[in-house]
Amino acid sequence: MIEPNTIYIINKSNFANQASVLVKICMTLKSAKREPIDPNIFIDYVTKALATNRCVIYVSFNEKVELIACAVILLNENPVKGKIVFIEWAWTNAKFTDIGKKMFEKIEEFARAWGAKKIAASMTRGFKAVNKIYGLKEEYRVMSKDIKEVVKND
């Protein structure tokens, strides 16, 4: 039985029993307007990361068992910076920001227990809000380039 507004963790030891939760995450977010998820890629990505103990996922649901918050956390052991808990991807329903704050507290607790020296994240928007709410500060800048497919003329 899933308790509403409770934060659950999916990790290496329990992810095989949580396939329905992973599917629920995909189905909720595949139609997200800003950052839709490809369900097949998501399931493949997180199951491999969970199976190799390089990932944990935090989730929470409302009374209707609808997803209200989720965070995919990668566990990185950087040779220079040491252990880093990296928030690969996170989403919170705007009506449940209190759950988002509680989830971040759980992530911090996990980071301490794992011996991490840092929590890091990359994002495309909301920098000021993340700093204000969670205390993350800008440390790096990430740059990218879209790779265009080459069309061959036969």
Domains of the chain, residue spans? 7-134
50-54, 120-124, 130-134: range with lowest mean pLDDT: 130-134
Q: Give 154 or 22, the one with higher predicted confidence.
A: 22
The candidate with the shortest Cα–Cα distance to 59, out of 30, 20, 86, 31, is: 20
Number of neighbours of residue 20 by Cβ within 10 angstroms: 8
Residue 76, pLDDT above cutoff 90: yes
Residue 128 — φ and ψ, nearest 5°?
A: -65, -40
Q: Give 127 or 17, the one with higher predicted confidence.
A: 17
- In which order are the strands placed within the sheet that holds 82-92? 7-10, 55-61, 67-78, 82-92, 118-121
Structural class in CATH, domain 7-134 = alpha beta
Whole-number CA gyration radius for the chain: 17
Percent of the chain exceeding pLDDT 90 equals: 34
Question: What is the structure's pLDDT at 125?
Answer: 65
Q: Give 33 or 58, the one with higher predicted confidence.
A: 58
